[in-house]
Amino acid sequence: MSKIVVYDTTLRDGTQAEEISFLVEDKVRVALKLDELGVDYIEGGWPGANPKDIDFFKEIKKYDLKHSKITAFGMTRRAKNSCEDDENLKALIASKADAVTIFGKSWDIHVTLALGITLEENLTIIGDTIKYLRKHFKKVFYDAEHFFDGYKANKEYAIKTLEAAVEAKADCLVLCDTNGGTLTSEVTEIIKAVKKTIDAPLGIHAHNDSDLAVANTLAAVELGVDHVQGTINGYGERCGNANLCSIIPNMLLKMNKKALPESKLKMLRETSRFVNEIANLSHDTHQPFVGNSAFAHKGGIHVSAVQKSAHTYEHIVPERVGNHQRILLSDLSGRSNVIFKAKEFGIDLESKNPITLQILKELKELEHKGFQFEGAEASFELIMKKALGMHKTFFNLIGFRVIDEKRTEGEEARAEATIMLEVGGTREHTAATGNGPVNALDNALRKALDKFYPSLKKVELKDYKVRVLKGDTGTASMVRVLMESSDGKDIWGTVGVSENIIQASWQALVDSIDYKLLKDEQKSSREKK
């Protein structure tokens, strides 16, 4: 199994995505996670470009990385400067990084138009810079910026830029598809041509503007390129960079390439979600390998098949990348889905059991009304347990009232909710304010129940989504509310549907509370046994 060098540039190229801005502390946390994952090189940033990156290189020195080497990124010396006097190169050396990556121009139009120098001067600059940096770093990588476009425009000159880097003894020549517009067939053809002329280690750095960054990277690896650059989740400028969360498992599991220890591959989903959280971005449900839907099955025929053999609809074992199989519930569901979900909830159902058919019928009727259980499995579990007589009523609503009041134009609206409940024969009447009517109702409900069920104090709302189901009736349209709640250990989703957003929210709130209390009661029963 041949070894591929995995070079992560999330902390530099990834931060060029318009939604991402990492603090120094964030960058350190991500670097430590990448080291734990086992990537070979972590590109920490461009120390000559901003103070934040300078601070990162100072801060990361305080940590003992187990595997990864920290790399600094920068450009070749300016035409008017010597290497010794170039501020950019001084900053790279001052970073005291383990390695350095320097980029130079491969496309003749960039040399003459962007830099305003001759083609020969550019070759001298590339060679001078690499030779100079080799005195200060154990590893010097050369990023041939715009190489594929440069090759298509002037192949002879593009090759000359690589030859200048080889002569200066760069450790690896990284071929960059900087504009992300090169087709996979072109990448293959050009790399084959380069290998006939250049005898040096090659790398690949692909952008995703044509949605081909992963394909182009894997094509390069198939041709013997053994240095791969990319970012976690494919973050990067414009349409992003090559996604390491897809590249790594494809190389390791399907191409027999050693990209990182297979034992670490189980951390891939965890790492993907960790970086999302640090970046304060939502998880891409449909992301291959690591997304929630990557191994999710909805159609009844699919579910019936994967119950017999997961291989029928899954291209790898999901646990190998830290993911897991999911069975979804919808109006496409058959009995197989219901039975499978029942097993997940510790309920033994048979396909011919009348209750199974009853649950399936109720599920389809609710879905027809607009309910959705793909993100609200707690609500579905409650439906199932109610049908089986396994659900306990923890409280009864006597009534609630919600007031949303705005007295003057310049004043913020104020919300207040009053609620009356009955718990075990005791009536509780409370009121609470909140940031909007739903929050006020949530606060009032909790206030009424806290004294009876103290564990509810640990429950917090993690996410709240409202979807208009049909817009043809304007503001009177049916809406669906999806809630995600957590008690610090578990996370669960609930759903409500109504023409009234408060009623839909109430349904989801009650299911959330019911699910938590039922879970606590089941846990207590197990402990007593």
pLDDT the model gives residue 331: 46
CA distance linking residue 148 with residue 416, whole number of Å: 62
| Nearby residues of 123 by Cβ (< 8 Å), 6 or more positions away | 160, 161, 164
CA distance linking residue 226 with residue 382, whole number of Å: 52
Q: Two tokens at 386?
A: 């109610």
Cβ 186 vs Cβ 152: under 8 Å: yes
pLDDT the model gives residue 374: 61
CA distance linking residue 420 with residue 401, whole number of Å: 9
CA distance linking residue 97 with residue 91, whole number of Å: 11
| Residue found under tokens 């899954």 | 314
Closest by CA to 467, choosing from 515, 504, 438, 506, is 504
Q: What angle do CA 57, 60, 66 make, to 5 degrees?
A: 130
Closest by CA to 190, choosing from 200, 176, 178, is 176
H or E stretch including 2? strand 2-3
CA distance linking residue 495 with residue 20, whole number of Å: 31
Amino acid at 51: P
Cβ 187 vs Cβ 148: under 8 Å: yes
Name the DSSP letter for residue 115: I
Name the DSSP letter for residue 241: B
CA distance linking residue 213 with residue 204, whole number of Å: 10
* Average pLDDT per block of 10 residues along the chain, 529 residues long: 91 95 93 97 92 94 96 96 96 97 97 95 98 97 98 98 98 98 98 97 98 98 98 97 98 94 91 88 90 78 69 88 74 56 61 68 71 73 79 90 87 91 94 93 94 91 81 70 88 89 93 91 73
pTM (predicted TM-score) = 0.71
| Nearby residues of 88 by Cβ (< 8 Å), 6 or more positions away | 48, 74, 75, 77, 78
The length of the chain is 529
CA distance linking residue 468 with residue 504, whole number of Å: 11
- Number of other residues whose CB lies within 10 A of the CB of residue 247: 28
Q: Per DSSP, what are the bridge partners of residue 228? A: 6, 204
Name the DSSP letter for residue 63: S
pLDDT the model gives residue 529: 61
SS (H, E, C) 433-483: EECCHHHHHHHHHHHHHCCCCHHHHHCEEEEEEEEECCHHHHHHCCEEEEE
**Range list of β-strands (E), 114-252:** 139-145, 172-177, 202-206, 227-230
* Domains of the chain: residue spans and CATH: 2-260 (3.20.20.70), 296-364 (no CATH), 395-452 (3.30.160)
CA distance linking residue 178 with residue 213, whole number of Å: 10
Cβ 504 vs Cβ 480: under 8 Å: yes
pLDDT the model gives residue 471: 57
CA distance linking residue 7 with residue 316, whole number of Å: 24
